[in-house]
A and B are shown apart, each in its own frame.
Chain A
Amino acid sequence: MTDQDALFEYLLRLGDNTLILGHRVSEWCGHAPVLEEDIALANTALDLIGQTQMWLGLAGEVEGQGRTADDLAMLRDVWDFRNVLLVEQPNGDFGQTILRQFLFDAFHFDLLTALSRSRNDQIAGIATKSLKEVTYHLERSSETVIGLGDGTDESHRRMQSALDLLWPYVGEMFVADDVDKALQAQGIAPDLTLLRQSFDARIADVMSEATLTLPENSFAHAGGKTGFRHSEHLGHLLTQMQWLQRAYPGATW
């Protein structure tokens, strides 16, 4: 694996995480329980898609084969995607969506904070820009998890079952493979072990305020960020997201 291959792969991971989560969250548009939440979800999705344009745009430049951010988003198939399994999981109920958002935001916030000091200036620039938006995402998802967890019996029950369901998808975000290690050695990407410590501390605080119990089982699903094995949900998501370009290849307007 050359340095260029590793960098391309890493940028796909960053851009695919924001793309797939952005698309998932956008599925709520017009369906959220209250108007303010509908607007908040749509805004979050918009930020994530905007960040995707920067990450995948840079990925295309690094690859050097003339692929644009749109090409990478719309013309790859499941096995080429490098997002973590967490972000492709279905929305479920509102609580499950918010809990998934919180788990990703907490990871994303620390990752972008570290990347804003990356030795790669373009990555540092995009991370600094994105971090401003993600700070808002994390503030909102933390508060909402606390509000719903420490809410009514019904909302508490739903948040606890969402946590039990999604917790096995957390581990994958922090497992470093050859790509992570190569970029860490070059001072481009951070040490995921350090990120995990900061993540665990934040999660413990929020969960305790939310009166939710972290599952003891540390089993972690894997296969998303390496592209080895995505869950079946990603394929269904892509059939919707990529439908237009697949039905009418090259369509523009």
Chain B
Amino acid sequence: MQAALPEIWQWLEDVPDPEIPVISVVDLGIVRDVAWHDAVLEVTVTPTYSGCPATRVISMDIETALRDRGIEEVAIKTQVAPAWTTDWLSDKGRAKLTEYGIAPPSPAGGPDACPRCGSAQVERISQFGSTPCKAQWRCQSCLEPFDYFKCI
């Protein structure tokens, strides 16, 4: 008896991103499709940044999580196009990022507000940060530095 796809999506909701463990790989929009091909479960994933070292770990984590649920044959398919975009970040994911202290992506090209104190007075320190997906910003009100999830 094969597990139903909605149930599998639910399981994947529990697989955290290795770098930002408060959000799941589903919230991040990395999992693009899940489908049964006979006895093989094919999970289609897309990399966030092409050189992101977390991508390989994510594939392994997905495979492990599904095996733990009793799925014996898992095939991870990597898909480059359409390219990952921060538009695929779920609303739940955005809220969790803010709560965690990371400003979510904004089309304006910078954070709307400081994730700690909510002030809109923020300045950029660097376009790049501790992981490929983040930039470094600073709040001019509470003076705390914070990560901003870049909009791509």
Contact = CB atoms under 8 A, between A and B. Distances in A.
A133 B50 contact: yes
Interface of B: 47, 49-53, 80-85, 125-130, 132, 136, 150, 152
B81 A47 contact: no
Interface class of chain B by DSSP = loop
Nearest to B150: A136
A24 to B, nearest CB: 15
A61 B130 CA distance: 33
List 10 A-B pairs, minimum CB-CB distance, nearest first. A50-B51, A125-B81, A50-B50, A46-B51, A40-B128, A36-B126, A129-B83, A43-B128, A132-B152, A125-B80
Contact of A39 (B50, B51, B130): B130
Interface residues of A, number: 27
Contact of B128 (A39, A125, A132): A39
Contacts of A43: 128-129, 132
Given A124-B81, A132-B152, A50 B47 contact: yes
Contacts, number: 72
8 contacts: A36-B128, A39-B126, A39-B128, A43-B128, A54-B50, A124-B81, A125-B81, A129-B81
A130 interface: yes
Interface of A: 36-37, 39-40, 43-44, 46-51, 53-54, 121, 124-126, 128-130, 132-133, 135-136, 139-140
